[in-house]
Structure 1
Amino acid sequence: MTTLEQKLHFDRIIERVEKARLRVNDHHIVKIVAASKYVDAEAIAALYAIGQRAFGENKVQDLIAKSEALEDLPIEWHFIGTLQKNKINHLLSVRPHLLHSIDSVELAHALNERLERENMTLRALVQINSAYEESKSGFLPEEINEKYAQIHEECPRIHLQGVMSIGAHVDDLTVVRDTLCPTP
């Protein structure tokens, strides 16, 4: 794909996101975080050159490698994968803008302990397993309020920014929508 084709494709994505945002609420600010887990540092640099600033990685080792390779660019790095407790120190070395996936109270406690030790804070989202899929991690919808409050209370080094969820992995868009936006 040429640079011009990339730019046009990127512009179409921004237009679609903006139209969706306006349908919901014209006061919200939407940020596109490009999942860069399948591309190399060169592809990230090319997207940065046409205006994309936030990138998400799902493996700590890839986040470290790409952030080091692109250290001259002021990229806003996000961690979008499942964080294993033994990778916390490595993740914190990158100082990501946002951790998208606190999926257990145990992980939150371990993360808070390391943050305390390093005198750091971290912005994070709590993950909801809204599809009730065994292959996905996160809190069930009926327990999210309690667990969110518990993490907020017990982990002061974690600055919770909200929640995230991944819809059901099926072809039927109605099912996906229902897992993300259940009706009472």
Structure 2
Amino acid sequence: MNAEEYKIYIDNVVRKVETARLKVSGHHIVKTVAISKYSTAADIAKLYNIGQRAFGENKVQDLKAKATELEELPLEWHFVGNLQKNKINNLLEINPTLFHALDSMELAEELQKKLEAKDMILDALLQINSAKEESKHGFMPEDASEAYARIQRECPNINLKGVMSIGAHSDDRDVIKKSFETTYEIYKNLDGATICSMGMSGDFELAIECGSNMVRLGSIMFNK
């Protein structure tokens, strides 16, 4: 599609976010992070020209390459992938706006060591495996609140901003909804949490209606 058609298309995506948001409240604000892991720097620049500013990658090397190529643009970079401990220093060199996938105490402790050594603070979200699926990373729902408080106590260089989860892998809307509601219930009771990141291209409207205030949209934002 040409530039004008693409803008109309993205406006329609924005309208869907707005409609879902307003079902919650006129005061409910939702931030969209465009997940660009299957897209090129040129694709990102095209979406930037329409007004998108926050982008997410799930591989450290891809994030570094795209951030470098697009360094003249005032982009907000999010890291949304599973972080291996041997890639921590590489990620901290990029210093992303937000790390979405803090999924274990071991990772928190390793991050804390590296952050302290570099005298850095990293904004992060605790990942919750709300559907308890073996294929997903994250804290089990029953452990999440305690882990959140422990990280706040023991890892002062990690600034927890809230939580993230991926909706249940199911065709049953009620099962997906339950997974979102589980995360939101935990989020509501966390000290100082301001971000509840839930919802991707296939389920973001439902996630917003369940309380999400940050959605991670990939394929729907980069429709060629």
**TM-score interval for Structure 1 and Structure 2 normalised by the shorter chain:** over 0.9
Q: For residue 107 of structure 1, what is the amino acid of its counterpart?
A: L
Q: After superposing the two structures, state which structure 1 stretch, 161-170 or 19-28, moved more.
A: 19-28
Aligned to 2:220: none
Aligned to 1:12: 12
Q: State the alpha-carbon separation in 1 of the partners of residues 138 and 56 from structure 2.
A: 18
In the superposition, the TM-score normalised over structure 2's length comes to 0.79
Q: State the alpha-carbon separation in 2 of the partners of residues 5 and 107 from structure 1.
A: 43
Question: RMSD over aligned Cα, in angstroms?
Answer: 1.4
Q: State the alpha-carbon separation in 2 of the partners of residues 153 and 105 from structure 1.
A: 12
Aligned to 2:86: 86
Could you say what secondary structure the match of 1:34 adopts? Answer: strand
Aligned to 2:154: 154
Aligned to 1:128: 128
Q: CA deviation at 1:112?
A: 1.1
Q: For residue 4 of structure 2, what is the amino acid of its counterpart?
A: L
Q: Name stretches of at least 5 consecutive residues in structure 2 with no aligned partner.
A: 186-224
In the superposition, the TM-score normalised over structure 1's length comes to 0.96
Deviations 1:126-180 (A, max 9, x none): 0000010111010011111100000111110111000011011122222111121
Q: Percent identity?
A: 58
Runs of 4+ more than 6 Å apart: none
Q: Map residues 24-103 of structure 1 onto 2, 5 A cutoff.
A: 24-103=24-103
Q: For residue 34 of structure 2, what is the amino acid of its counterpart?
A: A
Aligned to 1:142: 142
Aligned residues: 184
Q: Name stretches of at least 5 consecutive residues in structure 1 with no aligned partner.
A: none
Q: State the alpha-carbon separation in 2 of the partners of residues 6 and 124 from structure 1.
A: 32
